[in-house]
Structure 1
Amino acid sequence: MPQTLFEVHDLHKRYGPNTVVDQLSFAIAPGECLGVIGPNGAGKTTTIRMCLGQTTPDGGQIRAFGLDMPGDALAIKAGLGVVTQFDTLDPDFTCLENLIVYGRYFGIPRRVMLERGPQLLEFAALSHKADAKPGELSGGMKRRLSLARALVNNPRLLLLDEPTTGLDPQARHLMWERLQLLMQQGKSILLTTHFMDEAERLCSRLLVLDHGRKIAEGPPRELIAEHLEPEVVEVYGQGALALTQSPVATLASRTEVSGETVFFYTHAAAPLLNVLAEWPALRTLHRPANLEDLFLKLTGRQIREGG
């Protein structure tokens, strides 16, 4: 990468006997969105906390804007904007007051924030809620207010930890639109998410973590092409599981089962679909391989507990 805004080299973190982040390295270029995906407990949030100087790594190096974390933490934080998993808005202040007060942490005068605050609320589609308190806002509005607050210092890099968790589809799409506008303005983003459509839509590159280690990295479509067959046929309904033990399975390159659904991965779906037409009681879905298929192939289909 010819130019980097943010770099992590051989980052390592342990909690007791458990290695949470294991020799992790990555870099972010100006104007780029790097997505970090992985199962619960993969080390995503711990990585974000170390990048913010909130958790001390056991080894490795973090550099941002040519400065070192944690030695230059204050100077680095002046160039960062942060949206955490959970809202930390002050419930006693209005939306505009939340922005004005937060600006004081960066030494921004009140007179400046009185001008900048309404502009940020307009960007977040919250101008009509300037005098409302966070408790009066919907979940989507609170997340957009958190994003507006993260922009008060005009940061060069945004660190977003699952920013759309808990939002309905309309609220998620509005948040995506705002994040895409920020990237068009040259902002860089480090994004953790559990939503594969979000990762594919927003991210220039993806980092796939599992058990604290990087197991894949690259542009979303390139990762899909590298690790997966191009076509997928999903089959479900009574008798679908029996197909895995029948000659039908030989028509696919790879077969996986999740619950009552059989996934056939193939380079040419037509022969498989012709045979499946003989089972009209079964439901089939033919589609291209996507990031969710990649995620499940690399990290497994078993449910992970924990954060």
Structure 2
Amino acid sequence: MHAYYSDRFVLPLPEGHRFPMAKYRMLRERIAAELPQVTLSEPQAASDGVLALAHSPQYVQQVATNTLPPLVQRAIGFPWSEQMVERSRRSVGATIDAARAAFTDGLACNLAGGTHHAFAEKGGGFCVFNDAAVAARLMQAEAHRSGRRHLQVAIIDLDVHQGDGTASILAGDESIFTLSLHGEKNYPAHKQLSDLDVPLPDGTDDAAYLHALDAALAELDARCQPGFAIYLAGADPHEGDRLGRLKLTVDGLAARDERVFRWLHERRIPAAVAMAGGYNQHIETTVQIHFNTVAAAASWSTRWRARAAA
């Protein structure tokens, strides 16, 4: 299985900043040491033209040239830097590369990504560009150019925060189905309308979460027959997450991933997987949750290739 990383582009953040930048390097190092079946690569940087599939050209230029309005820059949560711009482009590129690889391997991973709070004309919540929205539309364009049938896409967002930017960008686009399972009272305060929103109360545990996920996947099944999916596997529903309000265990999150990967495999839907959020009090726990996601994806990718070869 292929996995793409962009942790070489480290943002110069102020001391004490709450964004866990080190988790990306730590995750890549664990995968390199423990998952030899995963091929690690640096992604391409998304071009202005590719980003314009989901973002206004004016916003893309403002990001590139450090001319964002101060309130928009503050909402992103990072100070502007060249590293911020390059990392944001590479994070989108990693989901694009994972999406392309998934059509062969069944699953592929972006070791970052899941930047679902980025809107067409602004960023927010540590998100500059929306990798899922860009990659979904690019995969559709590439499918069309290759003469394949119209490609329906599902975005399965299981970060603890609602994918408000994704829902906004893709509102009214019947070719891309947006599902968000999230904390009802968590950020963002003002939610957007996904095709299917499943708001969960504070303190939701493993059993209640998995029951809600099963129901959501069943409804997705009834309303959409995707030929491709993007899965945002946030680590922040964990009970120890500083920015989450749910109570899932590490085992519960692993069961979540297994449900999603099994659902995709049974329907022969290739998927790109992004790690999305994770702000645990102990960064090692966040890395473990992300590592478990990648390990499970690699296992299901092996099954995909075996079935294709049979």
Q: TM-score, normalised by structure 2?
A: 0.36
Bigger fraction of residues in helix: 2
Bigger fraction of residues in strand: 1
Q: TM-score, normalised by structure 1?
A: 0.36
